[in-house]
Amino acid sequence: MGEDYYQDSLKVTIKGQYIELERIQTFFTTIDFSKNSFRGEIPKIIGRLKSLKGLNFSHNNLTGYIPPSIGHLTNLEWLDLSSNKFTGEIPTQLVDLSWLEVLNLSQNQLTGHIPFGKQFNTFENDSYTENLGLCGYPLSRTCNNHEAKQPPSSTLQQEDNVEPNNGFGWKAVSIGYGCGAIFGMFMGYIMFKIGKPKWLVRMVKLEQHIMLRRLKNNAHRRGGEDNKSTN
Protein backbone atom coordinates (compact mmCIF):
# COMPACT_ATOMS: atom_id res chain seq x y z
CA MET A 1 0.00 0.00 0.00
CA GLY A 2 1.03 3.60 -0.39
CA GLU A 3 2.66 5.64 2.32
CA ASP A 4 -0.60 7.49 2.97
CA TYR A 5 -2.20 4.40 4.51
CA TYR A 6 -1.53 1.96 7.35
CA GLN A 7 -1.63 -1.72 6.41
CA ASP A 8 -3.95 -2.61 9.29
CA SER A 9 -7.74 -2.72 9.27
CA LEU A 10 -10.01 -1.36 11.99
CA LYS A 11 -13.64 -1.63 13.06
CA VAL A 12 -14.88 1.66 14.43
CA THR A 13 -18.16 3.49 15.07
CA ILE A 14 -18.32 6.63 12.91
CA LYS A 15 -21.30 8.97 13.18
CA GLY A 16 -23.38 6.22 14.74
CA GLN A 17 -22.53 3.65 12.04
CA TYR A 18 -20.36 0.57 12.71
CA ILE A 19 -17.81 0.51 9.89
CA GLU A 20 -14.80 -1.66 9.04
CA LEU A 21 -11.92 0.33 7.55
CA GLU A 22 -9.77 -1.92 5.38
CA ARG A 23 -7.20 0.81 4.82
CA ILE A 24 -6.61 3.58 7.34
CA GLN A 25 -5.35 6.96 6.21
CA THR A 26 -2.39 8.23 8.21
CA PHE A 27 -4.32 11.42 9.01
CA PHE A 28 -7.35 9.50 10.32
CA THR A 29 -7.90 11.36 13.60
CA THR A 30 -10.55 9.69 15.71
CA ILE A 31 -10.68 8.11 19.17
CA ASP A 32 -13.05 5.21 19.81
CA PHE A 33 -12.94 4.00 23.44
CA SER A 34 -16.50 2.65 23.39
CA LYS A 35 -17.71 -0.52 25.13
CA ASN A 36 -14.94 -0.80 27.71
CA SER A 37 -15.09 -0.60 31.49
CA PHE A 38 -13.53 2.85 31.84
CA ARG A 39 -14.35 4.73 35.04
CA GLY A 40 -13.71 8.22 36.36
CA GLU A 41 -13.81 11.49 34.45
CA ILE A 42 -12.73 12.46 30.95
CA PRO A 43 -9.50 14.46 31.33
CA LYS A 44 -10.03 18.16 30.68
CA ILE A 45 -6.86 18.31 28.63
CA ILE A 46 -8.54 16.36 25.86
CA GLY A 47 -9.40 19.80 24.48
CA ARG A 48 -5.84 20.08 23.17
CA LEU A 49 -6.45 17.50 20.43
CA LYS A 50 -7.40 20.25 17.99
CA SER A 51 -7.54 18.15 14.79
CA LEU A 52 -9.75 15.42 16.22
CA LYS A 53 -12.73 14.61 13.98
CA GLY A 54 -14.44 11.90 16.01
CA LEU A 55 -14.68 11.10 19.72
CA ASN A 56 -16.54 8.08 21.12
CA PHE A 57 -16.60 7.25 24.85
CA SER A 58 -19.98 5.50 24.77
CA HIS A 59 -20.97 2.45 26.85
CA ASN A 60 -18.54 2.91 29.74
CA ASN A 61 -18.90 3.90 33.40
CA LEU A 62 -17.59 7.46 33.10
CA THR A 63 -18.81 9.99 35.67
CA GLY A 64 -18.59 13.69 36.48
CA TYR A 65 -19.30 16.62 34.20
CA ILE A 66 -18.76 16.74 30.45
CA PRO A 67 -15.54 18.77 30.07
CA PRO A 68 -16.21 22.24 28.62
CA SER A 69 -12.78 21.94 26.98
CA ILE A 70 -14.35 19.65 24.37
CA GLY A 71 -15.55 22.94 22.90
CA HIS A 72 -11.95 23.50 21.76
CA LEU A 73 -12.24 20.57 19.32
CA THR A 74 -13.54 22.78 16.53
CA ASN A 75 -12.95 20.13 13.82
CA LEU A 76 -15.11 17.55 15.60
CA GLU A 77 -17.75 15.96 13.36
CA TRP A 78 -19.21 13.38 15.75
CA LEU A 79 -19.34 13.10 19.52
CA ASP A 80 -20.78 10.07 21.33
CA LEU A 81 -20.84 10.10 25.14
CA SER A 82 -23.94 7.94 25.49
CA SER A 83 -24.56 5.19 28.06
CA ASN A 84 -22.39 6.60 30.84
CA LYS A 85 -23.12 8.35 34.14
CA PHE A 86 -22.36 11.98 33.29
CA THR A 87 -24.09 14.57 35.47
CA GLY A 88 -24.61 18.33 35.37
CA GLU A 89 -25.51 20.50 32.41
CA ILE A 90 -24.38 20.18 28.81
CA PRO A 91 -21.53 22.71 28.46
CA THR A 92 -22.52 25.73 26.38
CA GLN A 93 -19.03 25.64 24.87
CA LEU A 94 -20.16 22.71 22.71
CA VAL A 95 -22.21 25.16 20.65
CA ASP A 96 -18.89 26.30 19.14
CA LEU A 97 -18.50 22.92 17.40
CA SER A 98 -19.76 24.21 14.06
CA TRP A 99 -18.74 21.04 12.16
CA LEU A 100 -20.58 18.69 14.52
CA GLU A 101 -23.00 16.48 12.56
CA VAL A 102 -23.79 13.72 15.06
CA LEU A 103 -24.27 14.15 18.82
CA ASN A 104 -25.31 11.36 21.20
CA LEU A 105 -25.61 12.18 24.90
CA SER A 106 -28.39 9.70 25.61
CA GLN A 107 -28.61 7.46 28.67
CA ASN A 108 -26.79 9.66 31.15
CA GLN A 109 -27.89 11.73 34.16
CA LEU A 110 -27.65 15.19 32.59
CA THR A 111 -29.79 18.08 33.82
CA GLY A 112 -30.74 21.63 32.94
CA HIS A 113 -31.12 23.58 29.71
CA ILE A 114 -30.04 22.08 26.41
CA PRO A 115 -27.78 24.62 24.66
CA PHE A 116 -29.33 26.42 21.72
CA GLY A 117 -27.76 27.72 18.53
CA LYS A 118 -25.70 26.65 15.52
CA GLN A 119 -25.51 22.87 15.15
CA PHE A 120 -27.53 22.29 18.34
CA ASN A 121 -30.57 23.56 16.44
CA THR A 122 -30.31 20.51 14.15
CA PHE A 123 -30.16 17.71 16.75
CA GLU A 124 -33.31 15.73 17.54
CA ASN A 125 -34.73 14.04 20.63
CA ASP A 126 -32.68 10.86 20.23
CA SER A 127 -29.52 12.82 21.04
CA TYR A 128 -30.79 13.32 24.61
CA THR A 129 -33.07 10.37 25.47
CA GLU A 130 -33.12 8.96 29.03
CA ASN A 131 -31.76 12.14 30.60
CA LEU A 132 -34.79 12.90 32.74
CA GLY A 133 -33.38 16.19 34.04
CA LEU A 134 -32.89 17.84 30.64
CA CYS A 135 -35.30 20.43 29.28
CA GLY A 136 -35.68 22.74 26.32
CA TYR A 137 -35.61 22.29 22.55
CA PRO A 138 -35.98 19.76 20.98
CA LEU A 139 -37.55 18.03 24.01
CA SER A 140 -41.20 18.59 24.88
CA ARG A 141 -40.29 19.47 28.48
CA THR A 142 -39.93 23.23 28.93
CA CYS A 143 -37.47 24.82 31.33
CA ASN A 144 -38.34 27.09 34.24
CA ASN A 145 -36.36 29.32 36.56
CA HIS A 146 -35.82 26.51 39.04
CA GLU A 147 -33.94 24.23 36.66
CA ALA A 148 -30.49 23.19 37.80
CA LYS A 149 -27.73 25.55 36.80
CA GLN A 150 -24.31 24.46 35.61
CA PRO A 151 -21.92 24.19 38.59
CA PRO A 152 -19.19 26.81 38.88
CA SER A 153 -16.08 25.90 36.96
CA SER A 154 -12.72 27.45 36.26
CA THR A 155 -11.73 28.78 32.88
CA LEU A 156 -10.88 26.35 30.10
CA GLN A 157 -7.21 27.21 30.43
CA GLN A 158 -7.25 26.35 34.13
CA GLU A 159 -9.11 23.13 33.43
CA ASP A 160 -6.49 22.09 30.90
CA ASN A 161 -3.85 22.13 33.64
CA VAL A 162 -5.76 19.66 35.80
CA GLU A 163 -4.96 15.98 35.47
CA PRO A 164 -7.32 13.51 37.16
CA ASN A 165 -5.86 10.98 39.56
CA ASN A 166 -8.01 8.08 38.32
CA GLY A 167 -5.37 6.77 35.92
CA PHE A 168 -7.07 8.15 32.82
CA GLY A 169 -4.44 10.83 32.25
CA TRP A 170 -3.91 13.05 29.26
CA LYS A 171 -0.70 11.30 28.19
CA ALA A 172 -2.58 8.13 27.27
CA VAL A 173 -5.02 10.11 25.14
CA SER A 174 -2.44 12.34 23.45
CA ILE A 175 -0.08 9.46 22.68
CA GLY A 176 -2.95 7.47 21.22
CA TYR A 177 -3.93 10.46 19.08
CA GLY A 178 -0.40 11.05 17.83
CA CYS A 179 0.40 7.47 16.83
CA GLY A 180 -2.61 6.71 14.66
CA ALA A 181 -5.88 4.92 15.26
CA ILE A 182 -4.83 1.31 15.86
CA PHE A 183 -1.52 1.63 17.69
CA GLY A 184 -2.77 4.67 19.54
CA MET A 185 -5.97 3.17 20.90
CA PHE A 186 -4.11 0.04 21.99
CA MET A 187 -1.46 2.10 23.80
CA GLY A 188 -4.07 4.33 25.39
CA TYR A 189 -5.98 1.32 26.70
CA ILE A 190 -2.86 -0.33 28.15
CA MET A 191 -1.67 2.91 29.78
CA PHE A 192 -5.10 3.41 31.30
CA LYS A 193 -5.10 -0.09 32.77
CA ILE A 194 -1.59 -0.19 34.24
CA GLY A 195 -0.90 3.42 35.13
CA LYS A 196 1.34 5.01 32.47
CA PRO A 197 4.61 3.07 33.02
CA LYS A 198 7.79 4.83 31.97
CA TRP A 199 8.92 1.96 29.75
CA LEU A 200 5.72 2.21 27.73
CA VAL A 201 6.11 5.95 27.30
CA ARG A 202 9.65 5.38 26.00
CA MET A 203 8.42 2.69 23.64
CA VAL A 204 5.74 4.98 22.23
CA LYS A 205 8.26 7.77 21.69
CA LEU A 206 10.58 5.32 19.92
CA GLU A 207 7.72 4.19 17.69
CA GLN A 208 6.96 7.80 16.82
CA HIS A 209 10.61 8.43 16.01
CA ILE A 210 10.76 5.40 13.73
CA MET A 211 7.58 6.46 11.93
CA LEU A 212 8.89 9.98 11.35
CA ARG A 213 12.23 8.71 10.08
CA ARG A 214 10.46 6.30 7.73
CA LEU A 215 8.33 9.12 6.33
CA LYS A 216 11.42 11.28 5.78
CA ASN A 217 13.21 8.42 4.00
CA ASN A 218 10.21 7.83 1.75
CA ALA A 219 10.03 11.53 0.90
CA HIS A 220 13.76 11.60 0.12
CA ARG A 221 13.43 8.48 -2.05
CA ARG A 222 10.54 9.96 -4.02
CA GLY A 223 12.51 13.15 -4.50
CA GLY A 224 15.42 11.19 -5.97
CA GLU A 225 13.14 9.34 -8.36
CA ASP A 226 11.60 12.62 -9.53
CA ASN A 227 15.06 14.02 -10.26
CA LYS A 228 15.96 10.96 -12.33
CA SER A 229 12.78 11.21 -14.37
CA THR A 230 13.47 14.85 -15.28
CA ASN A 231 17.04 14.10 -16.50
Pairing of strands 17-21, 39-40: unpaired
Q: Report pLDDT digits (tens) over 115-154.
A: 999 999 999 999 999 999 999 999 999 998 655 444 444 4
- The model's confidence at residue 197, banded by pLDDT at 50, 70 and 90, is very low
User: In terms of pLDDT, which residue wins out, 145 or 112?
Assistant: 112
Q: Do the Cβ atoms of 31 and 56 come closer than 8 Å? A: yes
The pTM is what? 0.61
Q: Residue 19 burial (CB < 10 Å; 0-12/13-18/19+)?
A: exposed
* 3-state SS assignment for residue 92: helix
pLDDT at 155 over 50: no
Rounded CA gap, 167 and 155, in Å?
23
Domain spans of the chain, in order of start:
5-230
Can you tell me the distance from the alpha carbon of 128 to that of 103, in angstroms, rounded to the nearest whole number? 9
* Strand pairing category for 78-80 and 17-21: unpaired
DSSP H or E run through 216: helix 198-230
Contact 18, 146 (CB under 8 A): no
Inter-CA distances, 38 with 41, 46, 57, 166, 192, Å: 9, 16, 9, 10, 8
Domain 5-230 of CATH type 3.90.1640.10:
no
pLDDT tens-place string over residues 77-100: 999 999 999 999 999 999 999 999
